[in-house]
A and B are shown apart, each in its own frame.
Chain A
Amino acid sequence: MIQNADRRMQIYGALLLLPAAVLLATFAYLPTVATLVNSLFLPGFRGEPATFVGLENYQLLIEDDTFWQVARNNLLYALGTIPTSIALALGMALLVNARLPGRGFVRMAYFTPTILPMIAAANIWMFFYAPQIGLFNALLGWLGLPGVNWLGDPGVALGSVIVMTVWKEAGFFMIFYLAALQSIPPELEEASNLEGTSRWSFFWRVTFPLLMPTTLFVLINALINAVRVVDHLFILTKGGPNNATNLLLYYVYENAFSFFDRTYAATITVVILLVLAVVATVKFTVLDRRTHYQ
């Protein structure tokens, strides 16, 4: 009788999981496996079936200078956006957490870019970066300085994209720091004031270590975003000039939907999946020792 009821519970539970399982299988697991499989094929042209070529696509990938450039761009993009936006986010949180006239407005100003779609943010920054009528060059012109081709100069373009991304992301990370700061007991600061600790060393010895879990959490999110979000490239640079701002996921898009090379696109996707797997492993092993899923 009890065993029967238990069995019924199991079946009921499985039925509850069914819709999610079917959808996840269709749009997450199946495409992941298909990506891995497809990276081992060459596309069949004119309706011919795809041919199995083993690791040939990976060979192509290794010999593809553009791929290496794109991978390097993505690394620079991550190194350019992540530490800057985390540092800014922490700074913003510290500023907004203190007594400050007009605190509500300041906090809103920091957070608002987070609410905008990346496409809209890119449109707005286009007004700044555009070569002739852009605001930045107009400002330089008023100062009597020559204009910069912010998005057309291969040496500058990636930097311009990074600056826009930092603007968009910092406020989002700020709210996590702000919440963490507010959970630090005020007695700690009172005690350190009694001891005469300077604010500088209080920050580095007390606040910053206490914020470590938040920093790790934000870092994971920032890493994911660095490989996942390429929307702004569609407006700002389309990966150009000469692939100077091309990022991995945008390169996947180009290969799949502009060059119609589906299997090569799958091969690059595998690289992205590997990066995400590393991030996920770090999260589940290092981070979750602190924050338990219970």
Chain B
Amino acid sequence: MNTSIASAARPSRRFSLPRLETVAAWLLAIVWIFPLLYAFWAAFHPSEFMVRFDLLAPLTLENFADAWEQAPFARYYLNTFALVTGVVLAQFVVCTLAGFAFARFPVPGKDILFMLVLIQLFVFPEVLIVENYRIASGLGLVDTITGIGLPYVASAFGIFLLRQTFKTIPRELEDAARIEGCGWMAILLKVYVPLAKPTYLAYGLVSISHHWNNFLWPLVVTNSVESRPLTVGLGVFSAPETGVNWATVSAATLLSIAPLLVAFLLFQRQFVQSFLRAGIR
């Protein structure tokens, strides 16, 4: 046992059989990435090659053209983009203000209020779909992008993260800014927000991927092409009973995941770091 650790620490120049762990790790990796590779295979080949693996099978972009034609994906992209941008920006504003108050202001009953906020870490808007739908319809928000995003804006998680970050910022910086004549708002914007940049990045990435992928609440609260995000559009498009060609479905699937997937592959480290920092989605 010890010898294998020692030899692993010193890369040997001679050819040697790969260790059992290496084989296991690679096998598992291939199994894990296979579904995605298979989706690529199905999307880029004519549908008769779905279960015929022929390396010489002709490549085609037809499936993507079909998907793009059969469902308003351009509109879905636009909706998702508007949704994600709006939610993240609104979350930044609301959670910054609340996190700042929890970190630095002597609000009476602050601890109880904070516990109340933390409850939302467990009671998500999608668990309360029935009542949230009634409230959204009472506010005239059904079938709007605002309606999809608004329940998520006061994110307990964002408030929690920003409060933690703000608490670590030394008070001396705040005092220095005050001596220079800054008011509370200026202190928040010039001292706290810039120093919390890594937290905003981490929270932003987690929030973007959550809302890009979110399905149940958007499904419930939208009913037209004008407000549906990509996930719901994809769900409607690829429901088995619609009888859409499978190659087209896999092209559509790739279309909807492409932006996030590409972003992830480019900024892998940042994504993983963000999920780690953020801990809970």
B is bound to A: yes
B281 cross-chain contacts in A, Cβ below 8 A: 221
Which residues of B are found within 8 Å of A221, using beta-carbon distances? Answer: 280-281
CA distance A207 to B272 in the complex (A): 22
A14-B107 in contact (CB<8A): yes
> Which residues from 117 to 162 on chain B have a C-beta closer than 8 Å to any C-beta of chain A?
117-135, 150-151, 153-154, 156, 159-160
A266 at the interface (CB under 8 A from B): yes
A280-293 Cβ-contact flags toward B at 8 Å (1 or 0): 10011000000001
Give the segment of B23-31, B54-62, B173-181, B194-202 that binds chain A.
Answer: B23-31
- Are A199 and B1 also in contact (CB < 8 A) when A24-B117, A105-B29, A118-B215 are? yes
Main secondary structure of the interface of A (DSSP, over half): helix
| CB nearest to A115 among chain B residues | B264
Partner of B98, one of A16, A134, A217: A16
What does the 1/0 interface line of A230-250 toward B look like (CB < 8 Å)? 110011000000000000010
Say yes or no for B85: interface residue by CB 8 A criterion.
Answer: no
Contact check, B261 vs A31: say whether CB atoms are below 8 A apart: no
Contact of A167 with B125 in the complex, beta carbons under 8 Å: no
Known A-B contacts A30-B135, A100-B25, A253-B220; the reply to A120 vs B127 at CB < 8 A is: no
Which residue of chain A is the closest to B114 with respect to CB atoms?
Answer: A293
- Whether B135 and A98, one on each chain, are in contact in the complex, defined by CB atoms closer than 8 angstroms, is no
Task: State A101–B230 Cα separation when bound (angstroms).
Answer: 37
Q: Which of A206-262 contact B (CB under 8 A)?
A: 217, 221, 224, 227-228, 230-231, 234-235, 249, 252-253, 256-257, 262
Take A127-B42, A231-B215 as given contacts and tell me if A17 and B113 are in contact as well, using a CB distance cutoff of 8 Å. Answer: yes
Let me know if B253 and A193 touch, CB within 8 A.
no
- Bound-state CA distance A110–B29 (Å) is 6
Say which size band chain A's interface belongs to: 35 or more
Q: Is the CB of A27 within 8 A of B150?
A: yes
Closest B residue to A231 by CB, please name it.
B215
Q: Which A residue's beta carbon lies closest to that of B255? A: A120
- Chain B: which residue is nearest A117 at the CB level? B213
Of all chain B residues, the one with the shortest Cβ separation from A28 is B120
Contact between B130 and A265, CB atoms less than 8 A apart? yes
Asked if A35 meets B35 with Cβ closer than 8 Å, knowing A102-B26, A135-B51, the reply is: no
A residues 70-129 touching B (CB-CB < 8 Å) = 91-92, 95-96, 98-102, 105-106, 108-121, 123-128
Closest to B5 in A: A193
Report yes or no: B107 in contact with A112, Cβ–Cβ below 8 A: no
Residue of B nearest to A30 (CB): B135
Report the separation of the CA atoms of residues A121 and B280 in the bound assembly, to the nearest whole angstrom.
21
CB nearest to A105 among chain B residues: B29
Report the stretch among A52-60, A61-69, A153-161, A172-180 that lies at the interface: A172-180
The residues in B between 245 and 281 inclusive whose CB is less than 8 angstroms from any CB of A are 246, 249-250, 253, 256-257, 260-261, 264-265, 268, 271-272, 275-276, 279-281
Task: Please indicate which of the listed interface residues B38, B131, B154, B260 has the most CB atoms of chain A within 10 Å of its own CB.
Answer: B131
Known: A193-B5, A228-B124. A30 touches B131 (CB 8 A): yes
A residues near B8, Cβ cutoff 8 Å:
98-99
CB proximity of B105 to chain A, nearest CB, Å: 3
Contacts of A101 in B (CB 8 A): 18, 22
Q: Contact flags (1/0) for A29-65 with B, using CB distance below 8 Å?
A: 1111011001000000000000000000000000000
Q: Which of B106, B150, B216, B235 contacts A6 (CB 8 A)?
A: B106
Q: Are the C-beta atoms of A24 and B128 separated by less than 8 Å?
A: no
Q: Are A235 and B32 also in contact (CB < 8 A) when A9-B106, A31-B135, A127-B250 are?
A: no
List, sorted by A's number, 20 A–B pairs whose CB atoms are closer than 8 Å: A13-B107, A20-B117, A20-B159, A23-B94, A26-B135, A31-B135, A32-B123, A35-B128, A98-B8, A100-B22, A119-B238, A120-B231, A124-B35, A127-B250, A199-B1, A228-B124, A252-B129, A256-B129, A257-B220, A294-B167
| A interface residue numbers (CB < 8 A to B) | 6, 9-10, 12-14, 16-17, 19-24, 26-32, 34-35, 38, 91-92, 95-96, 98-102, 105-106, 108-121, 123-128, 130, 133-135, 138, 167, 171-172, 175-176, 179, 193, 196, 198-199, 217, 221, 224, 227-228, 230-231, 234-235, 249, 252-253, 256-257, 262, 265-266, 269, 272-273, 276-277, 279-280, 283-284, 293-294
